[in-house]
Amino acid sequence: MNILSCSDISKSFKDKVLFDSISFGMNQGDKVGIIGKNGAGKSTLLKIISGIENPDSGSVVVNNNTKLMYLDQNSEFDSFDSALEFVMKGNEQINNLIDEHHKYSHKPDLTDNESARFSEINHTLDSLNGWNHELEAKKYLGMLGITNHEAIVHTLSGGQKKRVALAYVLMSRPDLLLLDEPTNHLDVDTIQWLQDYLQSMPISLIFVTHDRYFLDAVSESILEINDRKIFTYEGNYEKYLEQKEIYAQTQSSTLEHNLSKLRNELAWLQKGAKARRTKQKSRIDWIDELKKSSIKSKDKKIKIELGKTFLGNTIIEAHYVAKSIAGVKLFSNFTYMAKPKDRIGIIGPNGCGKSTLLNLLAGKIQTDDGSFELGASAKVGYFKQEIDDLKDDQTVINSLREIAEFIDVGVGRDRFITAKELLERFLFPPYQHFAQISTLSGGERRRLALLRMFMANPNVILLDEPTNDFDIETLNAIETYFDDFYGVLIIVSHDRAFIDRMVEFVWVFRPDGTIKEYPGNYSYYLEQKEKEESLRRQLASQSQVKTDTRIKDADKVRKKLSYKEQREFDMLEEEISALENELDDNQKQMNNHDGKDYKQIENISSKIEELQNLIDEKTERWMELSESIG
């Protein structure tokens, strides 16, 4: 059943046309991802569908009785409700039914009509599972990382408010849900939960995201806004890329054919067209169209290649570093010695201390314990979540020239990249170079801030949630840029695809305040994590089976043994239990080891083998005593 129809929609802002006579529709249960460059109109399209903004022309028709909910990219709201109260208000129907139920349940005598209504309310609440209304709200808050349900909403941080707002729209049980960058402000585990939840829910969904894994997993079709038009691709993001590649290959051969024709036609035109203007006007017009087609087919590619800046023997050295904030320990015993071309991703739940660690590595804050040294040759570039060093009254190009006139790549004939060239390579067209920064969108401001960091030519780069507000094309450009980066790169990001593409080691914040290093990218870390959890479950199960068996048989055995054998039997039970606990401790040490001290690993491994042999030996004797009474 069709749930949404958009017909001939056009929208402009001042002199910029976002889209021109675009049309599309969706059926009930469809899950649609919208992609396009920053400024293409993705968020505006969601606002038009939701009714917040009006198109300049065209129509949007949402099917009757469709409950539509929209979550903005930047949810600005203020409420003096607690987080729990606010989220429970998301489902107005159940709220009203519960209020009505309370009214009737406290009334001593009900009329026949009131009794009938009371019965109807009970039946409706049963069918809607409304009695679990509060539990459902707590579930959403908990899964989205809001543990203090009584916190007043207006006192929360921007990221926390976004998560409360997300819980609110999920609580509302919409038929059609519009989400603008829903993964912003979520940690990787929460993103995974939201991804699984949206996949499983039978709702209609339209969403904008830069998270390519999320887009690939959740979307069933892709809408691409490009050059003021909209293009529909069936399938998820992977299928979209496959279709684009086939199209690009076709266009490549067509473009080469057109260029060959174009060269011949230009030669013809230059030799004698003036004498045949009237007669050959249609031929000349055709050449103009051919030119436009050839030029338009060349997509801009962003490629930045920087030379190596000198890195001394000491880049970053941290030994047994600890840090607490407001009396809460964030991490301890952290040790790291940086090497050229280090590629490290940092992951952990919100509030665990990831940004604090970056601040420490940047030399912005002091350690509470341990030693930290930033090498004399280390030139740190720090891209933070909050952009606070841009001047609204400054032009875009002067903002870069304030840092440097050019970047020295140190190689080749064209060894200098000017501020103008850098802007163009990062999709700032020439007309924007002299625009004031105040006219830029949020994504453009962040892109400019990133370029300011590049202009300083750092050899140690720290990125704190760099993917927020960037389109997929810009993310691909950033990833390509770092392919040839010689320095140290350390990233905090919730974007799993970005982490997978960029890093070779992962630092994981653990609940006990330690930071464990895993070799490989994010996907490899997940594999290792699953293996560790599987081993823990297996060991716990084996230990429980052994314990249950011994407890069950112990009383029977004791009654039939001599006093001396009873004493030995009891001692064996205690010894086996103690050895199993010691074995468990050593196995945890092995699982949590950072892998740097191979001698220590060897010692732990030997100890595990020794303990296992002792347990087997004593268990065998325990079995002998059990069997001796037959």
Domain boundaries, the chain: 78-157, 241-296, 316-520, 526-628
Instruction: Please tell me the distance from the alpha carbon of residue 177 to that of residue 62, in angstroms, as a whole number.
Output: 12
**For residue 56, which phi and psi values (nearest 5 degrees)?**
-70, -35
Query: Which pairing describes strands 31-36 and 204-208: parallel, antiparallel, or unpaired?
Result: parallel
Instruction: Please tell me the distance from the alpha carbon of residue 41 to that of residue 34, in angstroms, as a whole number.
Output: 10
> What angle do helix axes 158-171 and 188-200 make, rounded to 10 degrees?
20
Q: Which pLDDT does position 302 carry in this prediction?
A: 46
Q: Are 344 and 505 in contact (CB under 8 A)?
A: yes
Res 331 pLDDT > 50: yes
Average pLDDT, stretch 467-482?
A: 85
Q: Are 153 and 79 in contact (CB under 8 A)?
A: yes
Which of 8-12, 49-53, 272-276, 625-629 has the weakest average pLDDT?
A: 272-276
Q: How crowded is residue 157: how many other Cβ atoms within 10 Å of its Cβ?
A: 11
Average pLDDT, stretch 87-97?
A: 90
Average pLDDT, stretch 145-173?
A: 89
Res 119 pLDDT > 60: yes
Nearest-Å Rg of the Cα atoms of the chain is 32
pLDDT tens digits, one per residue of 196-236: 999 999 999 999 999 999 999 999 999 999 989 999 999 99
Q: Which pLDDT does position 543 carry in this prediction?
A: 62
Instruction: Please tell me the distance from the alpha carbon of residue 369 to that of residue 360, in angstroms, as a whole number.
Output: 12
The CATH number of the domain covering residues in 316-520: 3.40.50.300
Res 374 pLDDT > 50: yes
- Percent of the chain at pLDDT > 90 equals 38
Among the listed residues 165, 43, 184, 71, the one whose alpha carbon sits nearest the alpha carbon of residue 468: 184
Band of residue 250 on the pLDDT scale cut at 50, 70, 90: confident
Residue owning tokens 């297996």: 538
**CATH architecture of structural domain 526-628:** Up-down Bundle (1.20)
How much is the pTM? 0.70
Instruction: Please tell me the distance from the alpha carbon of residue 55 to that of residue 60, in angstroms, as a whole number.
Output: 9
- Six-digit token pair at 41? 């109109």
- 553 vs 53, which has greater pLDDT? 53
pLDDT tens digits, one per residue of 430-474: 989 999 999 887 888 999 999 999 988 898 999 999 988 888 888
Average pLDDT, stretch 123-133?
A: 88
Which of 136-145, 308-317, 531-540, 545-554 has the weakest average pLDDT?
A: 545-554
Instruction: Please tell me the distance from the alpha carbon of residue 556 to that of residue 625, in angstroms, as a whole number.
Output: 11
3-state secondary structure of 7: strand
Q: Are 458 and 363 in contact (CB under 8 A)?
A: no
Q: Which pLDDT does position 555 carry in this prediction?
A: 54
Q: Are 150 and 84 in contact (CB under 8 A)?
A: yes
Q: Which pLDDT does position 472 carry in this prediction?
A: 86
- 388 vs 392, which has greater pLDDT? 392
- Percent of the chain at pLDDT > 70 equals 81
Res 136 pLDDT > 70: yes
CA angle 399, 397, 391 (to 5 degrees): 30
Q: Which pLDDT does position 300 carry in this prediction?
A: 47
Which of 298-302, 404-408, 465-469, 571-575 has the weakest average pLDDT?
A: 298-302
Q: Which pLDDT does position 367 carry in this prediction?
A: 93
Band of residue 407 on the pLDDT scale cut at 50, 70, 90: confident
